Amino acid sequence: MIERYLAQMSTYAGSIDGLILLVAVLVGFWFFAAEGMLFWLVWKFRERPGQKSQYLTGTEHHIKRWITWPHALVLVCDVFIVIGSIRVWNEVKQTLPEPDSTIRIIGQQWAWTFQHPGPDNELDTPDDIFTVDALHIEVEKVYHFKLESRDVLHSFSVPVFRIKQDALPGRSITGWFEATMTGEHDIQCAEICGIGHGVMAARIFIEDAGQHAAWVAANSNSTTP
Amino acid sequence: MSDTAGAATQGEHHAHEDHHGPQGLLKYIWSTDHKMIGMQYMFTGMFMAVIGGFMAYVFRMQLAFPGMNVPGFGQVSPGEYNALVTNHGTIMIFWVAMPVLIAAFGNFLIPLMIGADDMVFPRINRLSFQIFFLSAVILLASLFVQGGGFGGAWTAYPPLSAVAEYNQTNLGSSMWLIAVALEFVAFLLGGINFITTLMNSRAPGMKAYDIPLVAWMIVIASILFMLSVGPLIAGAVMLLFDQTLGTGFYDPARGGDPILWQHLFWFFGHPEVYVVLLPAIGVTIEIIATFARKKVFGYKLMLYTTVATGVLSFFVWAHHQFIAGIDPRMANIFTITTLLISVPIAELCFVIIATLYGGSIRLTTPMLWALAFMAEFLIGGVTGIFLGASGADIFFHDTYFVLAHFHYTFFPIAIIGTFAAFTYWFPKMFGKMMNDTLGKIHFWGTVIPFNFIFIPLFILGLGGQHRRIYNYQHFPELAGADMYVLRQIATIALLVMLAFQLVFFFNCIKSWMSGEKAGRNPWKSNTLEWTTESPPPHGNWPVDEMPNVYRGPYEYAHPDREEDYWPQNEPN
Amino acid sequence: MKPIATTRSATGIPTGRLAIWWVLASEVVIFGGLLGSYLMHRLGHPEWANAAAHTNVWFGATNTFVLLTSSFTAVLAHQAAEAGNGKKAAGLLLMTMGGALTFLVIKSIEWTNEIMHGYTITANGFWSFYYTAAGLHGLHVIAGAIVMGFIAFDAYRGRELQRVELIGIYWHFVDVVWIFLFPLLYIAK
Ligand code: HEA
Ligand code: HEA
Ligand code: CUA
Ligand SMILES: [Cu+2]
């Protein structure tokens, strides 16, 4: 459903979109059934001269089952949605696959600072590469990110990855992603963070191994901003 | 029941004269009469709705045509944009939905529907409105102080809301917070009144299951409000101290915790959405029963389901915080509870729909509004399930999908439901019938554009557009021409809708001045408010004609009777 | 003339008493939210015990005693009102107000002391909670005492005697809140 509007570019984007489709099918069915019933009843029982309406209390068994059955079935649908949801949640937020590389992402009013590990692939070493509002990663590599904030809440969101995580001052939150395609896409700040919230944009550059190595080599001398 | 019966009882009104109190204009301002207080709430709410609507107009213009000079406002700066969005949300929920659906209709209807002459604490009732009015004044004033209105979203997450250095609206944020806190106090006072009035002042013979559902719904909503808002009041005091005294309740650097506020806010915030939903459901069921000439399908079922919804609503709050940095294991629990709540709400919807079965449906204007509420709310309800599924919310959180979800719930509740109630009880409130043709023009002119505003916003949400961003030009993927087309459709639909509101105001004034006389019971309804004059006199009924109750409120088309309705106060 | 609505009692419970219980229900959640937040923080910050060690248990204990005594006179006032003795009820209410005043005086001495030692509301998280919780409670004491004055005034003239009971219920609540605050703020080290 969503891939019509937004490319799927991470390993779990497909799972999230699949879950959304599952929910769409299940609630879509009930939605159309309920709307259909509503309009049909309004038409079927429209006022006709001289015709009195029926006296039904809603406690008659043969009528009540029109409520009790759907209501039990909704519960069954809920079970399917919960199972699907928890599986996806587990995949994205509760498991951390072994990283190929780790980056640090720092939000502050109103810019993103990205700390890349540099040539030695170790974070917090002198050769780290710092960039502002531009994140460079390599395709098909598992990245861990350590998300921090220097002031207020921000939220790191990459729509094409379907990933989103709030950044909190005083905490470092770890998450992961793995890109499946190369390209250049938007990073948005998804939590209101003051007047500049609307300009807190960044770009993610997903490069193949060669390009990425070249970028690392070209930038490994940069210093802390 | 004839109209002339009222004239014979004119003399009785003198008995009430001595507690009329002040005269002249002051009579309206200092009145303790529940109907007058209800009106005060309603007109304040209506006024605030116009302001909230105007704000929506300004920022929707900015979103569709960034940087333009919005007629009637001018250039929208980022700070102003944030303040407009924040205060639009706050006003629409706390100064429109609650005062109109709960306070205005609660005040007007509860005593009339239970056959009482007033609330049990008339003076507390007046105090409640006065505090409410003060809160509205403070909120509006906050938009004009130095630095501008508060712009940290209606959820006011700290540290942004707590530290002036971050939000740059030193005065605005404190005034916003004080206004909201005062509004809570007003509704606590009003709520205590509603609850005790319903419990104690029912007409002789009126048992718990003879109370019209809308009165139940308003009271259950008040109880929900009362039991959920407390922690947030404490939280608001802490936030105020953080803002003004410099404490660090929400500052992690000083041992505080920003997430605490989110818990306190949403522990209230989620029940709050049902606080406004329930009265709208009550209004809908009342209207549908009357115009389908049908007994409500399973009165007790409905009541118990409502209570179940209320109880469950206390256990779902963290679905707003799935990705806020809470323990990921908690998300699983809250996904389960959130999805569970679809069961009672689905049941409420099914009961409303089932009530139509076997009816004889008259499509008057109030009935159209009630049916539209049901049809549109379903969209809002089912899209909530997408968000409740934690895995999907990773993507949806804070996108326009969420925004469209809750406008598809709030708009049906606060605007469609309000119009339903307003057009249904207008004859009782003002003694005149509303013009049905104008009413229908207004109806279609509101409901059709409504869908054209928010369907495009769903699609924008699916395209990854986030909320509270004043200008999308900084996001290359959101700045495409096709995206702007969607935004412009939404804005133009809003303009159309706003234009049709003029029809409503025109209809109100015209009907009020020269409408057809309504008589006591124009809709041939059963509930007690229709047994007195329109508008009801001070004291509602002559002292010696206070109604007694003999049966439930929905005895339409009873097989033993010639007439297809059976007022609650008619002896067998 | 009072509205008929105020004279009815479909539940059999007097409306005033019903209302006061609902007031207390909403107060319970307010204090519940505040104390719940405090407890969560306190468990997360064992070092706050050092700050808590600087509270003065003796002041706290005396105030507990003062409030309990005032609750007792409130009960006696209720009894007197039941018996129809408005003057006596008013006198006992005055004594309760005296208790409230004593409580506030002790509190202000205590706070002055603490503030002079630099333990202000912004000193650290513990003191923030300490002043907020005790301050909110103190506001309830002040509000209760003022309302009590009006009720005593009426009771003295033999009017609205049923209100003596209502303010008593409220006063017990204020007392109970203190019973929670005292160990949580003063004793837990
Ligand atoms: C009155 C308003 C109202 C109502 C009634 C609801 C109802 C629901 N809401 Fe909504 N919601 C809001 C107002 C409301 N909401 C607001 C204001 C926000 C955003 C706040 C902000 O961040 O600013 C929000 C945000 C919000 C979120 C957080 C999104 C995010 O920020 O990431 C979630 C997540 O779970 C959610 C879920 C639900 C659910 C499950 C319901 C359920 O109650 C819906 C139940 C109804 C149905 C399901 C329809 C009827 C049933 C059927 C037709 C049967 C078929 C169904 C199934 C098979 C399941 N809502
Ligand atoms: C009850 C709640 C309610 C209502 C009715 C509305 C109504 C509308 N809302 Fe609002 N909105 C919110 C609650 C509501 N909103 C909230 C909570 C937010 C989030 C704020 C935040 O992020 O902090 C929000 C945010 C929000 C945004 C997001 C901005 C952003 O994130 O950048 C947008 C964008 O288009 C929007 C648009 C609209 C529009 C076009 C309407 C139109 O439908 C408005 C049309 C209004 C009218 C036509 C008024 C008609 C009424 C009368 C004439 C009076 C009748 C009265 C009586 C009869 C008594 N709203
Ligand atoms: Cu950073 Cu919004
Ligand atoms: Cu919710």
| CB of B386 closer than 8 Å to CB of B248 | no
Nearest CB to A78; choose among B340, B350, B471: B340
Write out the two tokens for B47: 């006024």
| CB of A46 closer than 8 Å to CB of B421 | no
Give the mutation target among B70, B82, B85, B365 for probing the ligand 2 site: most ligand atoms within 8 A of CB: B85
Shortest distance between the Cα of B247 and any Cα of chain C, in A, equals 5
**Using CB atoms and an 8 Å cut-off, which of residues 117-136 of chain A contact chain B?**
none
Q: Domain C15-41+57-187 is of which CATH architecture?
A: Up-down Bundle (1.20)
Is residue B4 classed exposed, middle or buried when 0-12, 13-18 and 19+ CB atoms within 10 A define those classes? exposed
Per-residue confidence (pLDDT) for residue A34, from 0 to 100: 95
Write out the two tokens for B202: 């029912």
The better pLDDT of the pair B302, A221 is held by: B302
Nearest CB to B347; choose among A67, A86, A92: A67
Q: Dihedrals φ, ψ of A54, to 5°? A: -85, 150
**DSSP 8-state code for residue B12:** G
Delimit the domains of chain C by residue range: 15-41+57-187
Per-residue confidence (pLDDT) for residue B307, from 0 to 100: 95
DSSP secondary structure of B233-261: HHHHHHHHHHHHT---TT-GGGT--HHHH
| CB of A223 closer than 8 Å to CB of A130 | yes
Q: Which amino acid is at C89?
A: A
Q: How far apart are CA B195 and CA B418, in angstroms?
A: 22
How high does pLDDT run on average in chain A? 90
3-state helix, strand, coil split of chain A in percent (to 5) is: 40, 30, 35
Around ligand 2, the residues with Cβ closer than 6 Å are B 42, 45-46, 49-50, 53, 56, 59-60, 85-86, 88-89, 92-93, 96-97, 100, 153-154, 403, 407, 410-411, 414-415, 418-419, 422, 453, 467-468, 494, 497-498, 501, 504
**DSSP 8-state code for residue A173:** E
Q: How far apart are CA B269 and CA B224, in angstroms?
A: 11
- Specify which residues A132 forms β-bridges with: A113
Between chain C and chain B, are at least 3 CB pairs below 8 A? yes
B70 Cβ contact list (under 8 Å, min separation 6): B57, B58, B61, B62, B76
- CB–CB contact C128 B248 (8 Å): yes
- CB–CB contact B255 C125 (8 Å): yes
- CB–CB contact C132 B241 (8 Å): yes
Per-residue confidence (pLDDT) for residue B4, from 0 to 100: 37
Per-residue confidence (pLDDT) for residue B456, from 0 to 100: 95
| CB of A79 closer than 8 Å to CB of A97 | no
- Specify which residues A71 forms β-bridges with: none
**Using CB atoms and an 8 Å cut-off, which of residues 43-82 of chain B contact chain A?**
78-79, 81-82
Its sign, for the CA torsion B78, B82, B83, B89, is: positive
Residue tagged 């070209």 (tokens):
A218
Q: How far apart are CA B114 and CA B125, in angstroms?
A: 17
Delimit the domains of chain A by residue range: 2-94, 101-219
- CB–CB contact B375 A88 (8 Å): no
Q: Dihedrals φ, ψ of B70, to 5°? A: -70, 120
Q: How far apart are CA B211 and CA C168, in angstroms?
A: 33
Q: How far apart are CA A170 and CA A155, in angstroms?
A: 14
Q: How far apart are CA B137 and CA B149, in angstroms?
A: 13
Atom index in ligand 1 nearest the CA of residue B389 equals: 35
Per-residue confidence (pLDDT) for residue A224, from 0 to 100: 47
Shortest distance between the Cα of C57 and any Cα of chain B, in A, equals 24
Give the Å distance between the CA of B157 and the centre of ligand 4. 16
Tell me, what's the ipTM?
0.94
- CB–CB contact A34 B332 (8 Å): no
> How far out from the chain centre does Cα B78 lie?
29
Per-residue confidence (pLDDT) for residue A65, from 0 to 100: 84
Is residue B213 classed exposed, middle or buried when 0-12, 13-18 and 19+ CB atoms within 10 A define those classes? buried
Q: How far apart are CA A103 and CA A114, in angstroms?
A: 7
Per-residue confidence (pLDDT) for residue B381, from 0 to 100: 95
Instruction: Say which CATH class A101-219 falls into.
Output: mainly beta
Ligand nearest to the CA of B349: 1
**DSSP 8-state code for residue A112:** E
Give the mutation target among B39, B398, B406, B407 for probing the ligand 2 site: most ligand atoms within 8 A of CB: B407
Integer Rg of chain B from CA: 24
* Residue B255 φ/ψ region, left for φ over 0, alpha for ψ in the -120 to 50 degree band, beta for the rest: left
CA triple B73-B405-A178, angle to 5 deg:
105
Q: How far apart are CA B98 and CA C61, in angstroms?
A: 44
- CB–CB contact B462 A1 (8 Å): yes
Name the closest-CA residue to atom 50, ligand 1: B346
Residue A148 belongs to what H/E stretch? Answer: strand A142-149
B441 Cβ contact list (under 8 Å, min separation 6): B500, B503
Its sign, for the CA torsion B129, B137, B75, B155, is: negative
pTM: 0.94
Per-residue confidence (pLDDT) for residue B23, from 0 to 100: 63
Q: What confidence tens digit (pLDDT) does each residue in A79-137 have?
A: 999 999 999 999 999 999 999 999 999 999 989 999 999 888 888 888 889 999 999 99
Name the closest-CA residue to atom 1, ligand 3: A154
Q: A65-69, B322-326, C14-18, C171-175: which has the minimum mean pLDDT?
A: A65-69
B471 interaction partners in chain A (CB closer than 8 Å): 198
CA triple B214-B217-B222, angle to 5 deg:
130
* Residue ranges in chain B whose pLDDT is less than 70: 1-25
Per-residue confidence (pLDDT) for residue C158, from 0 to 100: 85
What does the CA dihedral B366, B370, B375, B376 come to, rounded to 10 degrees?
90
Delimit the domains of chain B by residue range: 37-545
Q: Dihedrals φ, ψ of A154, to 5°? A: -130, 175
Per-residue confidence (pLDDT) for residue C8, from 0 to 100: 86
* Closest chain A residue to the Cα of B351, Cα to Cα: A67
Q: Measuring CA to CA, which residue among B253, B285, B294, B420 is closest to residue B349?
A: B285
Q: What confidence tens digit (pLDDT) does each residue in B432-470 have?
A: 999 999 999 999 999 999 999 999 999 999 999 999 999
B459 interaction partners in chain A (CB closer than 8 Å): 5
**Neighbouring residues of the ion ligand 4, judged by CB less than 5 Å:** B 270
Q: Which 3 state secondary structure label does DSSP give B517?
A: strand
**DSSP 8-state code for residue A155:** E
Overall size of chain C counted in residues: 189
Integer Rg of chain C from CA: 19
Its sign, for the CA torsion A34, A37, A42, A43, is: positive
CATH number for B37-545 (one of 3.40.1350.10, 1.20.210.10, 1.10.3720.10, 1.20.120.140): it is: 1.20.210.10
Atom index in ligand 3 nearest the CA of residue A154 equals: 1
